[in-house]
Structure 1
Amino acid sequence: MASIRKRGENSYLIVVSRGYDYEGNRLKAAQKTVHPPVELKPKQKEKWLQEQAVLFEREVHHTPEPVNKSITLAKYIEHWLAEVAPKKLAKSTFARDRQDVRRILPALGHYKLTGLTKEVIRNFYEEMRAERKLTDGGLISERTVEGLHNTLCSILTDAVEEGYLLHNPAWRMYKPQGTRKECPVADEELVQRLITALEGQSLKYETYFKLVLATGMRRGEACGLRWSDINWKRCSIHIQRTVIKLSHEPIFVKPPKTASGDRVVYVSKEMAKLLKAWKQQCAWERQQEQGEPLREDDYLFRQPSGDPMVPTTFTFRFKKILKQNGLPENLSVHSLRHTTASLLIAQGVDVRTVASLLGHSQASTTLDIYAHAFDKKKREAQEKLGAVMGL
C-alpha cells in the first residue's frame, strides 16, 4: 500500500514498499515526488494524490493494467452508481452526483473511457455554460459547471483505481469563467435591523435564526441539536450531527463529514437566556399536547412526530421575514453564517479560530471563502504600520 507524505508547500513524497528479498531483508522502498496542480482545492488535491499513489504502486509492482478499451462512460457510470458510489459517498453527495450524471450522460455517455480526451471534456464544459435551466430559462451557473467537473473527476478517478483507465483526463480541464459571486453578508447596521425583525417573530424562529447568527453553525447543524448538547454552566453547545432532507427521501440525521465539524461553540448569556425560554415553551407544549415531560434527547426544533425540523422550513420562513420587514431579499440563512465569520474577522479574530468555530477542516478553506474580509484587515494593518513608520 502506497503512503503519501507532505514534504514542502506543494511537494509530496509517495512511498511504496517493495517487500523482502529471498534472505528476508527488507528491500528499499520506491519513492517518487509529485507536485499537485496549484489550482486544486483541498479535496481535489487529496483525490489527485490518491490517484498518483495508485498509478505509482502499479508501476513499482509491475501490475498489469486491465484496461477495457471497449467500455463506454455510460456503461462504467452504470457500474459506478450500482457498485462504487453507494459504498464510498455520503447519501447527500450521492444524490447530488446522480443529478449531475443526468447532464453528463447525454453529452459524454457514448464515448469510450479511453476516448475521453481533454478537448472532449473541455468542449463539454463550454456546452454546459450555454445550457438553460428548466426553472426560469436562465443560463446555468458557473457553480453548477464546477459541480459537473467535480463529479466527472470523481467518476474517472474511480475508473483509474479500478484499472479501466491509465490516467484521469479531466484533471486541470476546468477553468472557472467570470467572477464567482460572493454570498451576501450583513454589516453591523443591517444585523441590528435583522435582529429587530426576528424579535417580532415567534420564539421558535427568533431562537433558531439568532442561534445561527450567534454561532455561525450551518442550517442542518442547528436542526440537529438536542437539548443534551447544551452545557448551561459553560454556555457551550456541542455540534455533533446535521439534518438532511432530500427530495422524495425520509429525513436522516448524520454526523459531520469531518472531525473538525464535530465541535463546541460558545454563546453569550443573553443567547443562553433565549434558549432557556425556548426550552420552557417546548416543555409546556409537550405537556399540553402529549401529556409527558420534555426529554433531554429531544431536538431543539422538533416536529410533533419527534423528528427534527428540516432546513428548508427555516429557509422559506427567513425569506418571508426579509420581505415583510423590507430587508435585502438576496440574504439567506447561509448568509447568517457568512455574516458571523465576517464580523469575527473584522474584530481581529485569527483565521484558525474562525475556521475552528465554523467547522472547517483546514484554515485555507476559511481563507479562500473570506479572502475579501481578510483583505480589509490587511489593508487596515498596513495603514497602521504606515502611520507608525511615517511612510
Structure 2
Amino acid sequence: MAKITEYSNSKGTFYRFRLYAGIDDQTGKKKYVKRSGFKTKAEAKKSLVKLEYEISNGSYFRPTEIQTFKDVYDLWIVQFELTVKPSSFHVIKSDFESKILPLLGSYRVDKITLAICQKAVNEWYKSRPSSFQRLVIYATKILEYARKLELIDRNPFKDVTKPRRKKKRTDRNYFSADELKRFLAIVQKNSYKHYVAFRLLAYSGMRIGEMLALNWGDIDFKSNKISITKTQSVSDQGLLIQPTPKTATSRRVLDMDVETMQILERWKVKQASYLLKCGINAMDKSQLVFTGRDNKMMTAQTIRYWFDIAIARDDTLPRITIHGFRHTHATLLLAAGASAKEIQTRLGHGNIQTTLDIYMHLTDKEQKETVQKFVHYLG
C-alpha cells in the first residue's frame, strides 16, 4: 500500500498519497495517481483502498484522449445543452467560443496553473467588466468537470482573485412623469409606430422581449387586457424565437388603460393596411404587433435605435435604457400609491423581494415629502 503523508498549507493540515498505477501503454513509463486535500488520515486511507481495488481489477480509467481544456469543454458542453433553454445555451456557447476558449482552449488541462487562470480572469475583466464573473464561473465549471474525470487533482480557478467590479452607473434609470410625457410627445411627431411601442412599454411595464413577441391574438380590445404568454429569445442557431417565459409568474394578464388600447387599435388598422398591400393576411391572430419591413420579429436593438433618434431632440432628458421604461412604469406606480404586491403582480416577479430590491426607491418628490413629514412630526 502507498504511504499516506501529512502536509500543511495556509488553509490548514491535510493528507495525501501517491499510488503506482502500472505502466503507461503509450509512453512505457510508470504511471502514478496522486490524491491530496484529505482532512483526515482515515479519509485518505479510504480513498487509497478504493483506488487500489479499481486499479487491480482494471475498472480505473483515465481517458487519455482528453488532454486539453477544449477537449474537456467538448465533453461537458454536450451534457450542459440538456440542462438549459436554447437561448441560454446559445449565450454561454458564444461566451466560450469568443472569450474563454481563445485564452485557455489549447492548454493541457493538467498543466493549467493558478497564474494562467488569473491572467485569463484579468483579461476578461478588462474586456467585459460588467459580465466577466460569468466567464469565470463557466471556466471554473470546465476545470471542475476535469477534476471529476480525475484528469486533475485540484481546480486552480477556485483560488483566483477576482477584480472588484466597477460601480454601476448612479444615474437613475427611469423617466419622471413629466419627462415621460415630453419623450412620448417627441416620438409621436417622429413616427406613430415608434410612439405606440414606447407608449406600450411605459404604460404596461412589460419587458422588451415580451412586447416584441406579442401578436394580435394576445390583445383583447373588448376587456382592455393584454396576455403575456411568450417572450423573445434566441435559439442555439442564433435565430429569434418565441418561447414561453421562464417563470409561471411571468405569464400574466395585464389590465390596460383605455387610451393606450385605442392607440394600439389605431396601429392595428395602419399595420393591416400596409400588410394587405404586401399580400399578407393582416387578420391572422398570430400576426406580430411589431415587425420589420419583412414582417419578421424585430430586435431590441431596433427599439434602442428608435430611442436614440428621439432622445437626440431633447438633451435635457436622461438617457435611460430600454429596460428603463419598465423601471419608469414601476416607479410611477409607486408614486401613484400602488403597493409592492400590486407592482410585483403587474411586473411578473416571482419573488416580492425582487420588487422591493429594485423598485422601492423614492422619487425626488417623495424624498422631499418624506423629510417634511419628519419635520412636521417633531413639531
TM-score normalised according to structure 2 size: 0.68
The 1-side partners of 2:206 and 2:148 are apart by 36
Structure 2 partner of 1:390 = 378
Q: 2:308 aligns with which of 299, 319, 337?
A: 319
CA distance in 1, matches of 2:107, 2:324: 41
Contact 2:86 2:234 in 1 (8 A): no
* Kept in 1: contact 2:335–2:363 (CA 8 A): no
Between the aligned partners of 1:252 and 1:284, the Cα distance in structure 2 is: 26
**2:335 is aligned with 1:335:** no
Distance 2:322 2:189 in 1: 17
Q: Which range is displaced more, 113-122 or 303-312?
A: 113-122
CA contact (8 A) 2:225 2:253 kept: yes
Match of 1:181 in 2: 169
The amino acid that maps onto 2:246 is K
SS at match of 2:232: strand
Which runs of 5 or more structure 2 residues have no equivalent in the other structure? 1-46, 55-59
1:237 aligns to what SS in structure 2?
Answer: strand
Q: Aligned equivalents of 1:316 and 1:333: distance in 2?
A: 10
CA contact (8 A) 2:124 2:132 kept: yes
Alignment of 1:142 onto 2:129: yes
The answer (yes or no) to whether the contact 1:282–1:294 under 8 Å persists in 2 is no
Give, as a single letter, the amino acid of the residue that structure 2 aligns with 1:128.
Answer: W
Distance in 1 (CA, whole Å) between partners of 2:341 and 2:110 is 43
Q: CA shift at 1:286, angstroms?
A: 3.0
CA separation of 1:203 and 1:376: change in aligned 2, threshold 3 A: closer
Q: Which residue of the partner structure matches residue 353 of structure 2?
A: 364
Q: Secondary structure at the match of 1:290?
A: coil
Query: Could you tell me which residue of structure 2 aligns to residue 104 of structure 1?
Result: 100
1:74 aligned onto 2:70: yes
Deviations 1:99-133 (A, max 9, x none): 32232234444667678787865564334333xxx
- The 3-state SS of whatever aligns with 1:200 is helix
Structure 1 residue 262: Cα displacement? 1.3
Partner-residue secondary structure (3-state), 2:320: coil
1-side partners of 2:145 and 2:364: how far apart? Answer: 41
User: Percent of aligned positions with the same letter in both sequences?
Assistant: 22
Given the superposition, is the C-alpha separation of residues 291 and 309 from structure 1 closer, same or farther in structure 2, using an over 3 Å criterion?
closer
Mapped to 2, the partners of 1:291 and 1:275 lie a distance apart of 20
Other-structure match for 2:277: 288
Structure 1 counterpart of 2:80, which letter?
A
User: What is the deviation of 1:376?
Assistant: 7.5
Aligned positions, number: 320
> Which whole-Å deviations, capped at 9, do the CAs of 1:148-186 have from their partners, x for residues lacking one?
234335556766888888998767965643312256322
Distance in 2 (alpha carbons) for counterparts of 1:193 and 1:340: 15
1:227 aligns with 2:230: no
Superposition map of 1:119-198 within 5 A: 121=117, 124-130=120-126, 140-152=127-139, 155=142, 174=162, 176-181=164-169, 184-198=173-187
Counterpart amino acid of residue 319 in structure 2: N
Unaligned runs of 5+ in 1: 1-58, 131-139
1:12 match: none
Partner of 1:23: none
Distance 2:371 2:94 in 1: 48
**TM-score after normalising by structure 1:** 0.67
The structural deviation recorded for 1:350 is 2.9
Structure 2 counterpart SS, 1:332: coil
Kindly tell me: are residues 177 and 312 of structure 1, through their superposed partners in 2, closer, same or farther at Cα, counting changes over 3 Å?
closer
Q: CA deviation at 1:68?
A: 7.4
Asked whether the 8 Å contact 2:204–2:254 carries over to 1, the reply is yes
Q: Equivalent residues in 2 for 1:2-81 (5 A)?
A: 72-81=68-77
- Paired AA for residue 81 in structure 2: P
Residue 327 of structure 1 deviates from its aligned partner by 5.6
Alignment match, 1:215 = 204
